[in-house]
A = this chain, B = another copy of it.
Amino acid sequence: MSKPPATASEADPTGLDTEIAMLFPEVDSDVARRLIGSAMHAFAERGYHATTTRHISEGAGLSPAALYVHFKSKEAALYAVSRSGHLGVLDAIRAAADEESTPPDRMRAVVRAFTTWHVRYHTACRVAQYEIAALTEEHYAEIADIRRDTEQFVRREIQAGVDSGDFTVPAVATAARAILSMGIDVARWYQPGRSTDPDLLATQYAELAASMLGVRPGR
């Protein structure tokens, strides 16, 4: 009874355990989850290169060597965080789009989901967006593929709206860039507590994106 595994379920006021469980469903071991959570927070706060392997293991309440029981290297931990973060958003916006039918509604849902994700998982997103330069070439290439998919998805959604006549926008690629930038940048500036309410922000961003695309009011 020295270490009850009930820590996660009975009381999780910050939602931290749930957050990590959501982001890394494939990681089964509890210790591995603690390690990756610690790594994620350290990378987000200090940056990959300023984070030492000791920071990571200490954050998980383990000795320096413990990291290497679960990860091949420090970079492997970064890759895990980065991959999950990127795959997560892509899933989220695809699911959101599937819930709606008309281009304006789909677009609003996508922006709302994209923003919500970057607020909810801003720690993971900060790592995913701003630390990928530290990945190995192979890992970077994999991440780049997911990013391309995400961008292409948004571009196609906009194009659909242009084709249907719902959107009026001169350059589809540029509009996609702008909308993605709005959401991604949330991970840079967002501070829990000090910022606008997440749901409100997501709705406002969705509306801003809609009028940016020239959606007529009421559509």
Contact = CB atoms under 8 A, between A and B. Distances in A.
Given A129-B188, A181-B185, A211-B211, A171 B204 contact: yes
A50 B133 CA distance: 10
Interface residues of A, number: 36
A214 interface: yes
A186 B175 contact: no
Of the candidates A47, A186, A214, the one having the most CB atoms from chain B within 10 angstroms of its own CB is A47
Q: Is the interface of A mostly helix, strand, loop or mixed?
A: helix
Contact of A214 (B49, B189, B211): B211
Contacts of A201: 174
Q: How many copies does the complex hold?
A: 2
A159 B196 CA distance: 18
Given A47-B49, A212-B212, A181 B174 contact: no
Given A47-B49, A211-B214, A212-B211, A174 B134 contact: no
A174 B205 contact: yes
Contacts of A205: 174, 178
Given A170-B207, A212-B212, A133 B46 contact: yes
17 contacts: A46-B133, A47-B47, A47-B49, A49-B49, A49-B50, A50-B134, A170-B204, A174-B205, A174-B208, A175-B208, A178-B205, A180-B185, A181-B185, A182-B182, A185-B185, A211-B211, A211-B212
Interface of A: 45-50, 129-130, 133-134, 169-171, 173-175, 177-178, 180-182, 184-186, 188-189, 196, 201, 204-205, 207-209, 211-212, 214
